[in-house]
Amino acid sequence: MDTFACRRCHTIGGKGNRPAANLDSSALLRQPREIFHAIQSPVQYMPDFRPADGEITDMVNAILAGATAKKSKETPLVVHFQNTGTRENIFEKHCGACHRMLSTRDGGIGKGEIGPNLSGLFSPFYPATFRERERWSAANLKKWVANPRRIKNGTLMQPIPLNEQEFAGLTEILQH
């Protein structure tokens, strides 16, 4: 589960974020084959890592092992549809052509598949990929968008000029 950072969107074994299905309770309602196919053919805004069948089997086993028969006190998951709001979304404007993410507040945003899926970027469940081993934070993101190639030589991403208000709006979106 850590390799694919599933907990940045899902709760598994009682840990994780909640913009997508709680896999602890889903495992009690779905057959293993259904879970397998859901990973193999991901829905919109779920990253498609194209895992091998053996890796998917390992993920299904981890989901089933983490499932609990206890009745959850969580409120039911709110289903998000693609964001169709009329207000300007700073993520869509500056990041969405290359990236996408699933947010508890805004639902699915961005259409890009060139860059990584940024769901849960600031959470402890997102891979520590800033400078290859550091966690992402607002301060690290600010350095990155100002000049990505200064941080990671050869990256394809161009600098994104954002004023303070735009950057604050972007970090707010990424935190939800």
Q: Rounded mean pLDDT of 15-19?
A: 89
- pLDDT digits over 77-132, tens only? 555 555 555 557 899 999 999 999 998 888 899 999 999 999 999 999 999 999 98
Q: Report the SS3 class of residue 28.
A: helix
Q: What is the pLDDT of residue 156?
A: 93
48 pLDDT band, cuts 50/70/90, is confident
- Whether 4 and 51 have beta carbons less than 8 Å apart is answered as yes
Q: What is the pLDDT of residue 76?
A: 52
Looking at CATH, the fold of the domain delimited by 90-175 is given as: Cytochrome Bc1 Complex; Chain D, domain 2 (1.10.760)
Q: Report the SS3 class of residue 101.
A: strand
Q: Is the pTM of this model over 0.85?
A: no
Rounded to a whole number, what is the largest CA-CA distance in the chain?
49
Give me the chain's average pLDDT, please: 88
Q: What is the pLDDT of residue 71?
A: 52
d(CA 1, CA 10): 10
Q: What is the pLDDT of residue 70?
A: 53
φ, ψ dihedrals at 175, nearest 5°: -85, -10
Where do the domains of the chain lie?
6-66, 90-175
